[in-house]
């Protein structure tokens, strides 16, 4: 079923297209397994590595059918959130991989940055797909005596946000409004200015106390009127307990002045500010406090709540990157060059999107039986392993598979995470293979 997002592939050679679909079929059944364990046959493994190192194959072509479908899905929507974020892929444990750069401060680490533009429906929150993805490899050496201007002119890493805009521009039409949703790293004057030039919208978390026409942003918002209150559910994370944060929402409108690095030259940017502040934060631990910069209307409480919802949709991209790393293990793939690695990432990115979509639909009880096509044999296994809990619903199937991976399924556990789901899927498929093998032996004997 994961193949559907690859149909229409054009790698320039029919055999390559077929090979790609075959690889997708194999690895999507066991996304967490290494290639040798996912394909199991020596000849097929050789063909897989040959595919990834073929010069005709590249990541853009692999993702093209999915990118096109994503655009089509976006054009059905009135509001599309174009969520941008960067993840670090680290290959320090594979130092021989060619063509990578440093990933940490002081030239540490070995790997690449993956910058994703992920589309989500503004109305329903439905994940629509990947509009584009850029790989950034940090150069280890800059000219030793670089002047200030040379540094500005060099292809700055922060340019990725503006680059990201070109992926979503195809979707910005008279019928569809595009809103860029980004974290604090994207609080950049030239980025916001460019979004405005393209007539797109934005919700970006503020990172610094900017100069405004009336003083400073933090002071301006502190005296802004309260527009309403809401509850925000905070997920458990490491040592942080799950809780419901009761927050107040303040707003104001400001004119942001061009920053000092630009010599204070440039236009004043009119920006709306929404501040979300937790009212009774827990004694020990961080309280929830966001200052959001936005182009959207803040006239009513409903407007403000919608902006907060747009920003909260950002967790989907974090979850997508997690799926790519924890679920699909792209940091553990044994290929030797950057080019090959990019091809591998192209395939897994589209698979990870589809896994995320399934989880999203199941959390909204919106799955169809066809979304989780279990074979007769697989259903029999679930039915006999969990006779009490078994139900003919795709949500329950997913939960039971996750249970094999250690998901307990108490009410407070919410929905299964990537890790338990992947582990469960692995055991589930092993059990199925064992059962099929046993049937074959019995049949013969």
Give the binding site for Mn ion (CB under 5 A).
85, 183
Beta bridge partners of 278: 247
Rounded to the nearest whole angstrom, what is the least distance from the CB of residue 224 to Mn ion in the complex?
Answer: 26
Residue 327 Cβ vs Mn ion, minimum distance, rounded to whole Å: 19
Cβ-based neighbours of 417, under 8 Å, separated by 6 or more:
407
Query: To the nearest whole angstrom, how small is the minimum distance from the Cβ of residue 62 to Mn ion?
Result: 25
> Closest approach of Cβ 157 to Mn ion, in Å?
12
DSSP at 214:
T
Minimum CB separation of residue 186 from Mn ion in Å reads 8
- Which CB, 183 or 301, lies closer to Mn ion? 183
* Residue 322 Cα distances to 315, 346, 408, angstroms: 10, 15, 21
Tokens of 384: 């006999």
Name the minimum Å distance from CB 318 to Mn ion. 8
The nearer residue to Mn ion, 97 or 325, going by C-beta atoms, is 325
> Which sign does the torsion angle of CA 253, 190, 349, 327 carry?
negative
Tally of CB atoms within 10 A around 437: 10
Q: Which is nearer to Mn ion, 85 or 296 (CB)?
A: 85
Angle between helix 338-363 and 59-75 (nearest 10): 30
Q: How many CB atoms lie within 10 A of CB 60?
A: 11
Nearer to Mn ion, 202 or 407 (CB): 202
Q: How far apart (Å, rounded) are the C-alpha atoms in residues 245 and 232? A: 5
Least distance in angstroms from the C-beta of 185 to Mn ion: 5
CB of 119 to Mn ion, least distance (A): 17
Q: How far is the CB of 182 from Mn ion (least distance, A)?
A: 8
Cβ atoms of residues 109 and 94 within 8 Å:
no
* 183 versus 194: smaller Cβ distance to Mn ion: 183
In this complex, which beta carbon is closest to Mn ion, that of residue 5 or of residue 319?
319
Tokens at 249, concatenated: 């929402």
E strands of 137-264, at which residues?
177-182, 201-205, 211-212, 215-216, 226-234, 243-256
C-alpha 183/C-alpha 185 separation (Å) is 6
Closest C-alpha to 171, from 78, 292, 302, 257: 78
Nearer to Mn ion, 85 or 342 (CB): 85
CB nearer to Mn ion: pick between 161 and 428: 161
Helix (H) or strand (E) holding 48: helix 42-52
Per the listing, tokens 């010599």 go with 263
CA gyration radius, the chain: 24
Beta bridge pairs of residue 337? 98
The whole-angstrom separation of Cα 253 and Cα 220 is 8
Interatomic CA distance for residues 183 and 187, integer angstroms: 8
- Cα-Cα-Cα-Cα dihedral sign, residues 189, 194, 197, 199: negative
Closest distance of CB 87 from Mn ion, Å: 8
Q: Which two tokens stand for residue 22?
A: 């075959």
Q: How far is the CB of 84 from Mn ion (least distance, A)?
A: 8
């Amino acid at each position: 079923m994961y193949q559907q997002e690859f149909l229409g592939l054009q790698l320039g050679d029919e055999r390559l297209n077929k090979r790609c679909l075959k690889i997708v079929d194999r690895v999507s059944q066991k996304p967490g397994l290494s290639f040798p364990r996912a394909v199991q046959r020596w000849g097929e493994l050789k063909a897989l590595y040959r595919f990834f190192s073929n010069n005709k194959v590249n990541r853009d072509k692999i993702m093209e059918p999915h990118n096109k479908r994503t655009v089509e899905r976006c054009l059905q929507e009135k509001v599309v959130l174009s969520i941008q974020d960067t993840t670090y892929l680290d290959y320090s444990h594979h130092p021989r991989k060619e063509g990578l750069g440093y990933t940490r401060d002081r030239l540490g680490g070995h790997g690449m940055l993956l910058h994703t533009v992920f589309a989500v429906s503004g109305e329903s929150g439905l994940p629509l797909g990947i509009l584009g993805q850029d790989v950034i490899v940090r150069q280890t050496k800059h000219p030793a005596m670089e002047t200030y201007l040379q540094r500005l002119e060099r292809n700055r890493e922060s340019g990725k946000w503006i680059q990201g805009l070109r992926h979503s521009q195809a979707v910005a039409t008279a019928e569809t409004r595009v809103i860029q949703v980004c974290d604090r790293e994207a609080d950049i004057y030239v980025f916001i200015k460019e979004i405005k030039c393209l007539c797109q919208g934005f919700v970006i978390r503020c990172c610094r106390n900017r100069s405004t026409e009336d003083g400073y942003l933090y002071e301006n918002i502190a005296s802004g009127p309260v527009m309403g209150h809401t509850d925000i559910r905070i997920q458990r994370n490491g040592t942080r307990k799950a809780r419901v944060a009761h927050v107040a929402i303040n707003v104001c409108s400001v004119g942001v002045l061009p920053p000092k690095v630009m010599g204070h030259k440039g236009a004043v940017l009119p920006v709306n500010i929404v501040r979300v502040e937790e009212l009774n934060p827990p004694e020990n631990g961080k309280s929830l406090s966001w200052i959001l910069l936005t182009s959207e209307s803040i006239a009513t409480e409903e407007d403000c709540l919608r902006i907060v919802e747009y920003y909260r949709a950002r967790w989907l991209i974090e979850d997508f990157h997690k799926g790519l790393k924890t679920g699909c293990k792209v940091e553990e793939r044994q290929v030797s060059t950057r080019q090959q690695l990019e091809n591998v990432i192209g395939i897994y990115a589209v698979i990870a999107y589809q896994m995320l979509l399934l989880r999203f639909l199941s959390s909204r009880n919106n799955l169809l039986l066809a979304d989780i096509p279990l074979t007769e044999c697989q259903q029999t296994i679930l039915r006999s392993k969990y006779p009490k809990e078994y139900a003919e619903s795709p949500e329950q199937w997913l939960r039971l598979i996750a249970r094999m991976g250690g998901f307990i399924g108490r009410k407070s556990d919410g929905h299964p995470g990537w890790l338990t789901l992947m582990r469960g899927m692995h055991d589930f498929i092993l059990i199925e293979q064992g059962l099929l093998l046993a049937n074959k032996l019995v049949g013969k004997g």
